[in-house]
Structure 1
């Protein structure tokens, strides 16, 4: 029997577009103009950078990728307006940031100890992944890498089902039951990714979302992370890697302490929260072991010469190990400034890597 929260998903016409214009999923789904005149495909260069394979230029993060954001995955309400996801979690759109949070006080089960009896897991067999995949494939640029946005990670889903403090208490009071929950959640993540890989055409990588910390530190000691969160997470990520996909991590918080665990789990790349982590420390200590994406903030009063100089400084500072991507961020969202920064990033880093790797470009 399909739960009441799965009924919409089971009966949706997936041949239609469902996201609200202007929302983040809608933006992610928009087709992008081809990037032409590069010595290798944008996809090949991006993969080289992710895996430490001597890129031809430093990628402009997000601009050079296509995001696979299925309408068929209702980890948030579809479309993203106030309402329930298919877990029975009520989400609220926060105006001004255009992002969703769970409604304060949301509780889908009476207490964590009762999750086996009370929690209704999504039945993915009733979802039309095939039709949704055929629809979204038409929007993807074949020259760009295609990255599945895998939101609401194994830990995040726990504290969306019950209050956050109770989620942390479960680590101490119900460790065995928590391990069962995380492993079942890993099964769900594997099943969902299996459908994405099967029905959405070429998928090169997975961007896995799971926030692990505050702006001061991680939520867990490294010992607790290794014992209770890492086993299920590692099993899920191994499935992804075994399918030949690279793994990017989105994990907000000051999570530098977990980088050794990230590397051990096979994570290829992390985009650290910029106001909580030390980019220089990460680059100096781990920049040859995994890829990082750091922001380049373009001031609203900068002219073109200042923008281009800042881009060159960024490449000079972070380019040598070949495993850094640049996320160009303009304060005033000026397309001309974005274009100038991307142009300088491509041409300057192309020359930089040609010298570094002895290429004749």
Structure 2
């Protein structure tokens, strides 16, 4: 039997330990968690990402919770709002045109029953929330207008008022995930950058986004939830803002300097490191060589790994790879 299939503590407990910097026994892997994106939340259907207890073969795309229409793009494997036809012509229109859904009218009890077995796991259950603050603003007014609104003094108050309403709504939604599904973490989506740089400066992020995102994070912590931030782009310059919000985890994409991030911030936030093996780079077939390579991969982090652990964005490697990372990281963390 593989040791990783019979660990001394559950993957859930180990993941939580790592996120809270409380002596994990091994470096958690993304496969130690369960993604949960139930169909009851219309954004999951609109964004073409339903992951719950029953096979989903229904339509994808369509209206999100605010009636914004999303179109599924086959080549991208996801959905986008059709540009050039914004839901709002100006941000100030949100008070008249944006109608927040009444969550109590959704059949949460039925959804909870349908997902009971799916959520019966010893892994970290992570509920996805699509379309965070900036992403939601983009969906309302298109990207260019959203970016301008963050820095336009005449629009900033309207943006802040919208973000406050969104923060309050997301807190109510999180309450439902806790009450009916007993999730362990919230995986909150808000892309902040492109492949080369953030969409906005750290100062703008601190003024326009941090106060509202911080409320969401603090609400998660009051509910004893881990806050896992999904934010695509080269956003390493915005990590101080993530810390000010109190975020627990940020995976991040490979264009970010992960070694620098772990060294600079690894004692405050759990950073995701991409596994060296994937479809393009298979793991060596020889076990001795596999362990040699895994030890070499971990070596640059070894000196401070207890104070600055990270998690492995393992892209579903096979059991041999998982076992190698489990054993090698446990050896370093138990020294």
CA distance in 1, matches of 2:119, 2:290: 30
CA contact (8 A) 2:38 2:44 kept: no
Report the alpha carbon displacement of residue 302 of structure 1 after superposing the two structures with TM: 4.7
CA distance in 2, matches of 1:154, 1:110: 18
CA distance in 1, matches of 2:213, 2:117: 32
Task: State which drifts further: 41-50 or 309-318.
Answer: 309-318
TM-score normalised to structure 1 length:
0.81
The RMSD of aligned alpha carbons is 2.0
CA contact (8 A) 1:57 1:349 kept: yes
CA distance in 2, matches of 1:310, 1:327: 17
- Distance change (3 Å), C-alpha of 1:55 and 1:80: farther
TM-score normalised to structure 2 length:
0.87
- Structure 2 SS opposite 1:267: coil
CA distance in 2, matches of 1:57, 1:191: 34
Which of 57, 69, 82 pairs up with 1:90?
69
- Distance change (3 Å), C-alpha of 1:301 and 1:285: closer
Alignment of 1:1-361 (within 5 A): 36-61=5-30, 63-77=31-45, 79=58, 81-171=60-150, 172=152, 173-200=154-181, 202-275=182-255, 277-298=256-277, 299-300=280-281, 302-305=283-286, 306-319=289-302, 320-322=304-306, 323-329=309-315, 338-355=318-335
Report the alpha carbon displacement of residue 70 of structure 1 after superposing the two structures with TM: 1.7
Task: State which drifts further: 35-44 or 235-244.
Answer: 35-44
- Distance change (3 Å), C-alpha of 1:281 and 1:80: farther
Which runs of no fewer than 5 residues in structure 2 stay unpaired?
47-57
Report the alpha carbon displacement of residue 237 of structure 1 after superposing the two structures with TM: 1.4
CA distance in 1, matches of 2:282, 2:186: 36
Report the alpha carbon displacement of residue 293 of structure 1 after superposing the two structures with TM: 1.0
Report the alpha carbon displacement of residue 132 of structure 1 after superposing the two structures with TM: 0.6
Q: What CA deviation, in whole Å up to 9, does each residue of 1:136-182 have, x standing for no partner? A: 13212431111111221111111011211111222213111111000
CA distance in 1, matches of 2:250, 2:104: 32
CA contact (8 A) 1:89 1:106 kept: no
The ranges of structure 1 where at least 4 consecutive aligned residues each deviate by more than 4 angstroms after the TM superposition are none
Report the alpha carbon displacement of residue 310 of structure 1 after superposing the two structures with TM: 2.9
